[in-house]
């Protein structure tokens, strides 16, 4: 199985399965001398770990990060950083009754078609627990970006039909909402909606928005390595993501050039934009304004409502999925989106050091 690595200069390679002994990541290309300890990574893992409230799976995992290499006396050494999180609360028998069935919305069928074999215990590599490695890698990338004055902030913009208008955001309350929404009123409405879904043995989807601030202009390449294209690649590699848009996104198709174009102006000797319909990216390169994008998250496919499917023996059947599953993926995916954005930006920044002689001189002299 190829395709478990992302990035060039700052590269993460995730490994492990949902019901195996553990799961983790190897990070290659992190510069030496970066202050880093297990608690820095744990802060990020705590935001995605299960069992925190009524809207997450009841699976109880501490998700404790163990740094196995690449860090000495609280600083990175420049060698590969290996991080392990042990699985401690698997219930593989929950899946024994459905091991011959292709679960709707899951990768069971495509795994069988491609490999002729699959790990039916929670989905193996396609399980949401794979994102632990992404989050651990993102924690390291975020620490690197912080040193450069760049911050990445993701939050829940919508759950089902409840979408927060941009002008009503209050980013200070994100951590106070169990759904990580920047508006407690909308969070309460979304919570009530989720309870209705759970009572009906159903699930919900939503939208995550992410803003990257402090980005210098000129990061990204103008053709196949566009900043927005790489962000889209990173986001769509997350299992539950079904859509990506940047800036005005699809609403730009209903606008006019006179409205959608971001006018340039001078502000204290610097070139800035009056608006940000482009989402901080022009021609595939950052333009110095905040990078703003959104991703669409599908409803959790594991639901206890009866669904029609077929077996690996090519027989029609019905299936009701029981066990410990999130009624909504969105809240725990917030930090995954944030982490993959950080990895993407960190990788491009390290590549950009060599894109001009000025960059080379700044790096080596």
Pairing type for strands 75-76 and 71-72 reads: antiparallel
Please give the Cα distance from 132 to 83 (Å, whole number). Answer: 10
The answer to whether the CB of 126 falls within 8 A of the CB of 102 is no
Using H for helix, E for strand and C for coil, what is the string for the chain? Answer: CCCCEECCCCEEEEEECCCCCEEEEEEECCCCCCECCHHHHHHHHHHHCCCCCCCCCCCCCCCCEEEEECEECCEECCCCEEEEEECCCCCHHHHHHHCCECCCCCCHHHHHHHHCCCCCCCCHHHCHHHHHHHHHHHHHHHHHHHHCCCEEEEEEEEECCEECCHHHCCHHHHHHCCCCCCCHHHHHHHHHHHHHHHHCCCCECEEEEEEEECCCCCCCCCCCCCHHHHHHHHHHCCCCEEEEEECCHHHHHHCCHHHHCCCEEEECCEEEECCCCCCCEECCEECCCCEEEEEEECCCCCCCCCEEEEECCCCEEEECCCCCCCCECHHHHHHHHHHHHHHHHHHHHHHHCCCCHHHHHHHHC
- Percentage, residues of the chain above pLDDT 90: 71
Q: Which of 84-88, 145-149, 155-159 has the highest mean pLDDT?
A: 155-159
Report pLDDT for 98: 74
| pLDDT band at residue 127 using 50, 70 and 90 as cut-offs | confident
Q: Which stretch of 103-117, 157-171, 173-187, 246-260 has the lowest confidence by average pLDDT? A: 103-117
The answer to whether the CB of 189 falls within 8 A of the CB of 181 is no
Report pLDDT for 359: 58
The alpha carbon torsion through 154, 156, 157, 163 (nearest 10 deg) reads 180
- Of 273, 310, 312, 314, the C-alpha closest to 290 is 273
156, pLDDT greater than 70:
yes
Report pLDDT for 95: 61
The residues, any chain, with a CB within 8 Å of residue 34's CB and separated by 6 or more, are: 75, 76, 140, 143, 144, 147
Per residue in 168-186, pLDDT tens? Answer: 999 999 999 999 999 999 9
Q: Across all residues in the chain, what is the average pLDDT?
A: 90
Mean pLDDT of 287-305: 93
94, pLDDT greater than 60:
no
Higher pLDDT pick, 137 / 327: 137
Q: Which phi and psi (to 5°) does residue 181 adopt? A: -100, 140
The residues, any chain, with a CB within 8 Å of residue 214's CB and separated by 6 or more, are: 145, 148, 149, 150, 151
| pLDDT band at residue 119 using 50, 70 and 90 as cut-offs | confident
Report pLDDT for 108: 87
Mean pLDDT of 26-31: 95
> What tokens appear for 218 in the block?
């000129």
Mean pLDDT of 322-336: 86
Please give the Cα distance from 279 to 284 (Å, whole number). Answer: 11
49, pLDDT greater than 60:
yes
Report pLDDT for 360: 52
The residues, any chain, with a CB within 8 Å of residue 3's CB and separated by 6 or more, are: none
| pLDDT band at residue 92 using 50, 70 and 90 as cut-offs | low
Mean pLDDT of 81-101: 77
Mean pLDDT of 345-355: 86
Mean pLDDT of 222-239: 96
Q: Which stretch of 117-126, 156-165, 176-185, 302-311 has the lowest confidence by average pLDDT? A: 117-126
Mean pLDDT of 348-362: 71
Please give the Cα distance from 150 to 156 (Å, whole number). Answer: 21
Report pLDDT for 354: 64
Higher pLDDT pick, 36 / 56: 36
| pLDDT band at residue 355 using 50, 70 and 90 as cut-offs | low
């Amino acid at each position: 199985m190829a395709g478990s690595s992302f990035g060039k200069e700052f590269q993460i390679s995730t490994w492990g399965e949902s019901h195996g002994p553990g799961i983790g990541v190897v990070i290659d290309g992190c510069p030496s001398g970066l202050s880093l300890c297990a608690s820095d990574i744990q802060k990020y893992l705590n935001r995605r770990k299960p069992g925190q409230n009524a809207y997450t799976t009841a699976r109880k995992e501490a998700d404790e990060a163990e740094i196995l290499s690449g860090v000495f006396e609280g600083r990175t050494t420049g060698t590969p950083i290996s991080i392990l999180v042990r699985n401690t609360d698997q219930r593989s028998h929950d899946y024994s009754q459905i091991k011959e069935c292709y679960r709707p919305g899951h990768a069971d069928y495509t795994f069988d078609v491609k490999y002729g074999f699959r790990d039916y215990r929670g989905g193996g590599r396609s399980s949401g627990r794979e994102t632990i490695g992404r989050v651990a890698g993102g924690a390291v990338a975020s620490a690197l970006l912080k040193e450069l004055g760049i911050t990445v902030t993701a939050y829940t913009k919508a759950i089902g039909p409840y979408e927060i208008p941009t002008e009503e955001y209050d980013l200070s309350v994100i951590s106070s909402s169990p759904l990580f929404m920047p508006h407690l009123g909308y969070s309460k409405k979304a919570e009530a909606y989720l309870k209705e879904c759970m009572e009906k043995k159903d699930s919900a989807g939503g939208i995550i928005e992410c803003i990257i601030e402090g980005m210098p202009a000129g990061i990204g390449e103008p053709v196949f390595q566009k900043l927005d294209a790489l962000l889209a690649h990173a986001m769509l590699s997350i299992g539950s993501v079904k859509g990506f848009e940047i800036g005005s996104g699809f609403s730009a198709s209903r606008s006019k050039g006179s409205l959608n174009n971001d006018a340039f102006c001078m502000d204290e000797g610097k070139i800035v934009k009056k608006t940000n319909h482009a989402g901080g990216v022009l021609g595939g390169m950052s333009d110095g304004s905040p990078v703003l994008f959104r991703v669409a998250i599908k409803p959790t496919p594991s639901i206890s409502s009866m669904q029609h499917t077929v077996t690996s023996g090519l027989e029609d059947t019905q299936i009701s999925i029981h066990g410990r599953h999130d009624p909504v993926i969105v809240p725990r995916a917030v930090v995954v989106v944030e982490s993959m954005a950080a990895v993407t930006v960190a990788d491009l920044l390290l590549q950009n050091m060599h894109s001009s002689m000025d960059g080379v001189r700044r790096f080596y002299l």
